[in-house]
Chains A and B, each alone.
Chain A
Amino acid sequence: MRPRPEPVQVVKQRRDRALKALVENIPYVRFLNIHFERHGNELTAVLNFHDELIGNPALPAIHGGVTAAFLETSALIGLAWQNLWEKIETGAIDAEALSAETLPRMPKTIDFTVDYLRTGLPRDAYARARVNRSGRRYASVHVEAWQDDVTRPFAQATGHFLMPMPSPG
């Protein structure tokens, strides 16, 4: 007989705890005011608009650097989350014991290329990353950001990342 599925609260709590451990404590993510919404293993990054994100006050428009930072954060967390997800779901890592200290090391950005498609408007933005390849050493991630209409992204980017070395032993 198939074992009974875990209660929904237990599953949710484990996954939310792991995600929280991954994104909290990063001062720059807090400064930009980015948070992540999770549906199963799918993540959407949300950039809450505030005045400090403005680059051109005449338009006004979100600073291109903010857009780049938002995309890079979404790609990096998306990649780290995909790897962490497997480890917590298989039980290789105990989500209960996860903290900033016990978290697997983050991938490092090698390069990041941003296409600016439209002006970033002074309102919230959303981004979703797709890991196109995640090897033992290198990963390639694509990410798209939109504001009002998901079919009309205002920026997209592709980045290459160096995966953390597995801890010895």
Chain B
Amino acid sequence: MTDDYETRKDRVARFMQALPHCRALNMTLVDIGPGEAVMSMPWDEKLVGDPATGVIHGGAVSSLMDSCGGTAVMVHPDGPGGTATLDLRIDYMRPATPGQTITARATCYHITRTVAFVRAVATDDDTERPVATASGAFTVTGAGA
């Protein structure tokens, strides 16, 4: 990988660390590519939605998907200066296994001067069976990078 890639990834990771909610959920940037982002969130007792099973609340998965989707937009080659979620649909396939880290992969597969379209998948250790998928539209604001 080139220095450019490392510099860019560091910059995105630092930007994310400055977002209080991402920090509160211990989200980390795993990887970026052109219009792609991979982000993870470790299991945490405070994120549990069902105390009987220890399964993480769908809302925490939404937060990860939303952050990862926004990041995918920001690292698109035609990347905007800023972005915000317009709409986001999450489909929940199965409960995430308690204790396992959740990883989201988002792709910004189309971008115009005003709107970016994003798909995302979340998995736990069993990467063959998605925990959730998401699709959304994001705003495109500000000057390109």
The answer to whether A64 touches B85, judged by C-beta atoms less than 8 angstroms apart, is yes
| Number of interface residues, chain A, beta carbon within 8 A | 36
The answer to whether A69 touches B57, judged by C-beta atoms less than 8 angstroms apart, is yes
The answer to whether A54 touches B64, judged by C-beta atoms less than 8 angstroms apart, is no
Residue of A nearest to B47 (CB): A28
In the complex, what distance in Å separates the CA atom of A122 from the CA atom of B15? 20
Residue of B nearest to A110 (CB): B92
The distance from the CB of B104 to the nearest CB of chain A, in whole angstroms, is 11
The distance from the CB of B24 to the nearest CB of chain A, in whole angstroms, is 4
In the complex, what distance in Å separates the CA atom of A29 from the CA atom of B46? 9
The answer to whether B92 touches A57, judged by C-beta atoms less than 8 angstroms apart, is no
Contact with A along B5-45 (1 / 0, CB 8 A): 00000000000001111111000000000000000000001
Decide yes or no whether A11 CB sits under 8 A from chain B: no
The answer to whether B21 touches A53, judged by C-beta atoms less than 8 angstroms apart, is yes
Decide yes or no whether B110 CB sits under 8 A from chain A: no
Residue of B nearest to A60 (CB): B20
The answer to whether B48 touches A28, judged by C-beta atoms less than 8 angstroms apart, is yes
Q: Which residues of chain B in 79-104 are interfacial with respect to chain A, using CB atoms and an 8 Å cutoff?
A: 84-92
Residues of B near A64 (CB, < 8 A) are 63, 66, 70, 84-85, 88
In the complex, what distance in Å separates the CA atom of A52 from the CA atom of B50? 22
Residues of A near B51 (CB, < 8 A) are 25-27, 100
Q: Which residues of chain B in 58-74 are interfacial with respect to chain A, using CB atoms and an 8 Å cutoff?
A: 58-60, 62-67, 70
The answer to whether B92 touches A63, judged by C-beta atoms less than 8 angstroms apart, is no
Decide yes or no whether B52 CB sits under 8 A from chain A: yes
Residue of B nearest to A51 (CB): B20
Interface size bracket, B side: 35 or more
Residue of A nearest to B60 (CB): A28
The answer to whether B89 touches A52, judged by C-beta atoms less than 8 angstroms apart, is no
Residue of A nearest to B93 (CB): A110
Decide yes or no whether A70 CB sits under 8 A from chain B: yes
Decide yes or no whether A37 CB sits under 8 A from chain B: no
Decide yes or no whether B77 CB sits under 8 A from chain A: no
In the complex, what distance in Å separates the CA atom of A57 from the CA atom of B14? 13
Residues in chain A within 8 A of chain B (CB atoms): 25-32, 51-57, 63-66, 68-70, 72-73, 100, 106, 108-116, 119
Q: List, sorted by A's number, 15 A–B pairs whose CB atoms are closer than 8 Å.
A: A26-B49, A26-B50, A27-B46, A28-B60, A52-B20, A63-B22, A68-B90, A69-B58, A69-B62, A69-B63, A73-B57, A100-B51, A106-B50, A110-B91, A113-B89
12 new A-B contacts at CB < 8 Å, known A25-B51, A65-B66, A116-B84? A27-B47, A28-B57, A28-B60, A31-B46, A31-B47, A51-B20, A68-B63, A69-B58, A100-B51, A110-B91, A113-B88, A119-B84
9 A-B pairs closest in CB distance:
A69-B59, A65-B63, A28-B57, A63-B21, A68-B62, A52-B24, A113-B89, A65-B66, A64-B85
